[in-house]
Structure 1
Amino acid sequence: MLRAAVSSLLLCCSLVFAAAAPAQEAERVRVAGSNTLAQALVPGVAQAWLRDIGYGDIQVRTPRPALTEIHASRDGQPLIVEIAASDSAHGFADLVEGNAQIAMMSRRPNAAELDAGWQLGDLASQDQEFVIALDGVAVVVNRANPIARLDMEQLRALFSGRSRDWRELGGGAGEVRLHLDASAGAVRDLMNDKVMRGSAFGEAQMHRDARALVAAVAADPLGVGLIPIGESYGAGTRPVAVSDGGRAVAPTRTDVLSEDYPLSRRLYLYGGQMMGALSRSFALYAMGRGGQRAVARAGHVAVTLVPGRARPTTLGPLEYRQMVEHAVRLPLSLRFNFAGSGESAVAASVYDSRAVRDLDRLRSFMRLPPNRGRSVLVIGFADASAGSPMASMMMSNDRADLVAQELVSRGIKVRVARGMGTALAVAGPRDPVARYRNERVEVWLL
């Protein structure tokens, strides 16, 4: 009797203490910034990351507008990935102020932001800057339209409504008819940043999505529209090549991934030099195979090293065309770190953060069974800011030799390393980052 009473008392005490014990507080990975990344990209990557590191019971919640929480647990330990959507500037400010461990940005930090975030460390280094995806805009016209290429000023005149007849742009007679996707905020953001520069969009026919827009342009011989890179053109439309002071570049997969196409941009994650293990794990996962599959599922361009088909090359010096005649361009352009307004701060590596990782991707790619024993061509380009044709040629040769040495050290056979000076420039001198864009190295697979 006494024993039963004691047991009951102990059980009651245990229940009281259990009820009084607070629930274990969940650890949080806080991510804030660009709405373009916050809509589907980062939530998709976060869920894939949680599954792949062993978390279960994954639930997506929206406690308030512009805030997504992804709840999960592992071995009884709860974890929440908190994704706050705003814009790149607010995301970076949250990182500086300690309200987020990771900032989502559709651009690099500007000079004022770098100054404000000096304590975060080297934000241009591969340890703190993570290029997780690309996105871009294709300008589509009806297949009957003879327009093949447009420059930035022509695009601004076209989409602001200043150019009202296709004859003003080198086409046939007929009134320009604009088509826009009402739901494509990222398309408008990119166009505002790279093309419109303060000009408002002209009157346009609005569509519910990109597919409806493509169908409308296919039925409109005088139509022109904007769609995200990756959307199907269909049988009735085609993309226009775009020039930004250099050669006109079409939005092929290779030219988008190499960032030679002007209407493309990187999507970044940024972390401080003391970012925690979980947030670093998440950022690194986003650039790996599982993360990049999630990027593609979210509708963005994954940063992967899958070459396209061999295509005849009709541009550039004769020597260049002869060198690459039987080679396949790999979908990358290795670029470098520079100091200056609008570009990255001085970094520990001579290569920019994506180039560092592209070199590692290239090593893995060349170790695949179909590529063992194959070699590559390394071709460097320079910007006109080098000062003279001779200086530009020397600079381009130096860059090609630098990359060739890097590849050889990784066990990759380099058949030829050659500079082409300022040939095939992709940006004009008025572009504030012309040197960054033009001074690049291509790699071709033999």
Structure 2
Amino acid sequence: MKKVFGLLTAVGLMTAPLAHASTVTVSGSTSVAHVMEVLAENYQNTTNTNVEVQSTGSSAGIRAAKDGTSMIGMSSRNVKESELNSSTKEIVIARDGIAAAVNKANPVKNLTQEQISKIYRGEIKNWKEVGGEARPIVVVTRENGSGTRGAFEEIMKLQRTINGHKVTAISPTAQVGNGNGMIKTIVANNPYAIGYISLGSVDDSLRAIDVNGIAATEKNIVAGDYQIARPFIVLMDKQAPKNANDFINYILSKDGQSIVAAEGYIPVQ
């Protein structure tokens, strides 16, 4: 099903609500899309309702929900009031941690939030400064507009204000990867790289390091001990079609939330 979703284009999605009113269109955060595609597939199998999911990034998903080019938008960061209008509603469907991930060959097992921030600011440049090998750190970040990047910057205090506007404090020398998948590939193939990805996307190709001595686990996020965490949000118009509301109700149901848990995220129900 993911291959089918991957064939969708932004232009096609913009016309989908008009051309196929019976189809539920969903677009936005690549992190939320990871679980949304599974939810959509299961929902289609049980209801015979077509659901199309496209990974376009949180900012694009928020805009799509606001201007009506998508029935449902997805965001993996908090939404600013300026990005909404009076008819847009937000619904939290799950919670997720953001894992600071390194290559499995990297001996560093733990970093403080301050150390991670300094690495991303370019103030710590070599692994030997944090207990690793005497090799330069390859810093990997997400693209602009990524909800994961927005949440990571906010939590890790990686923003600065210039002329009244918030801008990133991440070093301009950092490599940029579009989506969790690309970040994983870069880190998994470079023993000196560090990146950040959705906790639900962590697999055996890399390793999530402890932060402030706390492991990145669901238990620690629920307890409030692991601090790098964010909500998974969907946005839709208050007058959205019934089929879109029915899909959201399914996501929030016992069956939908069991899928959220099975995919490695934290249910909200």
Q: TM-score, normalised by structure 2?
A: 0.65
Among candidates 42, 49, 53, match of residue 36 of structure 2: 42
Q: Which amino acid aligns with 1:119?
A: S
Cα distance change of structure 1 residues 98 and 131 upon mapping to structure 2, 3 Å threshold = same
Tell me which residue corresponds to 1:87.
Answer: 57
Among candidates 116, 119, 124, match of residue 163 of structure 1: 124
Tell me which residue corresponds to 1:132.
Answer: 94
Cα distance change of structure 1 residues 240 and 202 upon mapping to structure 2, 3 Å threshold = farther
Tell me which residue corresponds to 1:118.
Answer: 86
Contact 1:182 / 1:208 at 8 angstroms: preserved in 2?
no
Cα distance change of structure 1 residues 191 and 133 upon mapping to structure 2, 3 Å threshold = closer
Question: Is residue 271 from structure 1 mapped to residue 236 from structure 2 by the alignment?
Answer: yes
Deviation at 1:111, TM superposition (A): 2.4
In structure 2, runs of 5+ residues without a counterpart are 1-18, 160-167
Tell me which residue corresponds to 1:241.
Answer: 211
Cα distance change of structure 1 residues 83 and 211 upon mapping to structure 2, 3 Å threshold = closer
Deviation at 1:191, TM superposition (A): 3.8
Q: Which secondary structure state, in structure 1, belongs to the residue aligned with residue 248 of structure 2?
A: helix
Percent sequence identity over aligned pairs: 17
Alignment of 1:406-425 (within 5 A): none
Cα distance change of structure 1 residues 225 and 102 upon mapping to structure 2, 3 Å threshold = same
Q: Distance in 1 between matches of 2:86 and 2:20?
A: 32
Contact 1:137 / 1:187 at 8 angstroms: preserved in 2?
no
Question: Is residue 28 from structure 1 mapped to residue 23 from structure 2 by the alignment?
Answer: yes
Q: Distance in 2 between matches of 1:200 and 1:211?
A: 21
Question: Is residue 178 from structure 1 mapped to residue 138 from structure 2 by the alignment?
Answer: yes
Question: Is residue 252 from structure 1 mapped to residue 217 from structure 2 by the alignment?
Answer: yes
Q: Which secondary structure state, in structure 1, belongs to the residue aligned with residue 251 of structure 2?
A: helix
Deviation at 1:187, TM superposition (A): 5.9
Contact 2:97 / 2:230 at 8 angstroms: preserved in 1?
yes
Q: Distance in 2 between matches of 1:148 and 1:130?
A: 30
Contact 1:138 / 1:239 at 8 angstroms: preserved in 2?
yes
Tell me which residue corresponds to 2:252.
Answer: 287
Q: Which amino acid aligns with 2:70?
A: A
Tell me which residue corresponds to 2:226.
Answer: 261
Contact 2:95 / 2:265 at 8 angstroms: preserved in 1?
yes
Q: Which secondary structure state, in structure 2, belongs to the residue aligned with residue 47 of structure 1?
A: helix
Structure having the higher Rg: 1
Among candidates 49, 58, 73, match of residue 103 of structure 1: 73
Root-mean-square deviation (CA, aligned residues, Å) is 4.1
Cα distance change of structure 1 residues 259 and 95 upon mapping to structure 2, 3 Å threshold = farther
Q: TM-score, normalised by structure 1?
A: 0.42
Deviation at 1:84, TM superposition (A): 4.5
The higher relative CO (CA closer than 8 Å, separation ≥ 6) is in 2
Among candidates 173, 187, 192, match of residue 213 of structure 1: 187
Q: Which secondary structure state, in structure 1, belongs to the residue aligned with residue 112 of structure 2?
A: strand
Deviation at 1:43, TM superposition (A): 2.7
Among candidates 135, 151, 171, match of residue 200 of structure 1: 171
Tell me which residue corresponds to 1:302.
Answer: 265
Cα deviations by residue, 1:94-114 (Å, 9 ceiling, x for unpaired): 333333332211123212134
Q: Which amino acid aligns with 2:92?
A: F
Q: Distance in 1 between matches of 2:221 and 2:264?
A: 9
Q: Distance in 1 between matches of 2:57 and 2:208?
A: 32
Cα deviations by residue, 1:244-275 (Å, 9 ceiling, x for unpaired): xxxx6431231234454232222111233333
Q: Distance in 1 between matches of 2:69 and 2:107?
A: 53
Question: For this pair of structures, how many residues does the alignment match?
Answer: 233
Q: Which amino acid aligns with 2:194?
A: G
Q: Which amino acid aligns with 1:159?
A: Y
In structure 1, runs of 5+ residues without a counterpart are 1-23, 56-78, 218-222, 243-247, 305-353, 358-446
Contact 1:135 / 1:267 at 8 angstroms: preserved in 2?
no
Q: Which amino acid aligns with 1:210?
A: K
Deviation at 1:291, TM superposition (A): 2.6
Deviation at 1:136, TM superposition (A): 1.8
